[in-house]
Amino acid sequence: MSAKTMDTDPGLERVTAAFDEAFGSRANGVWTAPGRANLIGEHTDYNEGLVLPFAIDLAARAAIRTRSAGALRLLSTLGEGRVVELSTHTLKPGHAPGWSVYPAGVVWAFQERGIEVPGLDLALDSDVPLGAGLSSSHAIECAVATALNELTGAGFSAEELVLITQRAENAFVGAPTGIMDQSASLRGRSGHALFLDCRDQSTVLVPFDAAAAGLVTLVVDTRVAHSHADGGYADRRQACELGAQKLGVAALRDVSVADLDKAHHVLDEVTFRRVRHVVTENQRVLDSAEALAASGAAAVAPFLDASHASMRDDFEISCEELDTAVEASRDAGAIGARMTGGGFGGSAIALVPIHHQERVREAVLNAFARRGFKAPRLFTVNPSDGARRLA
Ligand code: ADP
Ligand code: MG
């Protein structure tokens, strides 16, 4: 491990120290995977549509040592030193406690693909905030999946690892999530957003350089915890499935903006609005990718605003705190803003001119205080590299 890596990643020291203390030996290696922010394209992934997320400079790390027996000993720096002990021989959905479902789910999903996973000592550390809509769960899963891919010699492609971690989330954790988050975490690139077609997993890296446009990407973590296992997310998925079925298409991906007039007559009012969000959002993703490539980061701003309005009014997945974050930052000088992630809480992102940054931060904090909301956490993020071995 190079001195430079140690300097630039304090999390590496944290996770190896935790590993050494709990397991009394050195790890074979440390793997890392980032959280993600979605620039645009919300609730389009499970409709086989388009998304434009980026990996962020907040990440999880997994320090791992293989053991010969089937024992799985799992530790997180979140867990006050408590080691969760499981067996690789008896893993099944519903039987791993608390946060251990995420690493255990990945082990299980590798086994399902016919890969023999040895016993493991595994320590996790992450600076991705939990439940903030920045996908701390996939950061953990992708770090573990990248490690297992190497340690077991499975050699899966990034596309296959995407499906394996999706299987872990859907079937082992029980969260009906799509493929966007892990795609960004596994396939993201520094200085770029990842244009992803969720139908065939084809990708294009699109330059996203806020600094070159005199901007920062500000995250407002509302600290309203969302939960994908709750009803709202599943309800929206069902509405989309119903819409596709009634319109006679395989997925809402196959409906274009021009088809919406016709759809209006076929669908009930609520289903129509759900469908309209997905259809117009796909178009906004296309427009955003083009605008970014042609004109730089500032050009994406109007699409962020339109996306937020669509999620607030048509898809109805925003909340007062997210709307406040978006409105206050816009009023104070952000050039575009939207909630990011699955909704019902979590974070908003705003593109803010560097010289307005302090003003925007203050305006958001004040607006939250005035409304009696818990103080949000504010920080900037930058597009970063996807999962990799760190040491
Ligand atoms: P999000 O992925 O948006 O952050 P989720 O509810 O999907 O929200 O995932 C959050 C969960 O992921 C946490 O409740 C915890 O179980 C798990 N998790 C995230 N980071 C860690 C960590 N460092 N150690 C252990 N578990 C973690
Ligand atoms: Mg998650």
Is 372 contained in some domain?
yes
- Of the three residues 205, 227, 257, the one that is the final residue of a domain is 205
Active site residues: 181
Would you state the structure tokens that stand for residue 227, as one six-digit string?
């939960």
Q: Is 135 in the pocket of ligand 1 (CB under 6 A)?
A: yes
Ligand 2 centroid–CA 212 distance in Å is: 31
Q: Domain range for residue 342?
A: 208-381
The ligand 1 atom at the shortest distance from the C-alpha of residue 134 is: 3
Digit-coded pLDDT (tens) for 37-93 = 999 999 999 999 999 999 999 999 999 999 988 999 999 999 778 999 999 999 999
- CATH assignment at residue 228: 3.30.70.890
The ligand 1 atom at the shortest distance from the C-alpha of residue 177 is: 7
In this structure, the answer to whether residues 312 and 174 fall within a common structural domain is no
Q: Is 165 in the pocket of ligand 1 (CB under 6 A)?
A: no
Q: Is 133 in the pocket of ligand 1 (CB under 6 A)?
A: yes
| Burial degree of 197 (CB within 10 A; 0-12, 13-18, 19+) | middle
CB-based neighbours (< 5 A) of ligand 2, an ion: 135, 137
For residue 101, give the ligand nearest its CA: 1
- Of the three residues 205, 223, 240, the one that is the final residue of a domain is 205
Q: Whose CA is nearest to atom 6 of ligand 1?
A: 131
Q: Tokens 């520094």 — which residue? A: 190
Is 4 contained in some domain?
no
Quick check: 225 pLDDT over 90? no
In this structure, the answer to whether residues 145 and 283 fall within a common structural domain is no
For residue 62, give the ligand nearest its CA: 1
ipTM of the complex: 0.99
Distance between CA atoms of 182 and 196, rounded to whole angstroms?
11
Q: Is 78 in the pocket of ligand 1 (CB under 6 A)?
A: yes
Nearest to 146 by CA among 70, 34, 229: 34
Is 377 contained in some domain?
yes
* pLDDT confidence bin for 124, thresholds 50/70/90: very high
In this structure, the answer to whether residues 275 and 290 fall within a common structural domain is yes
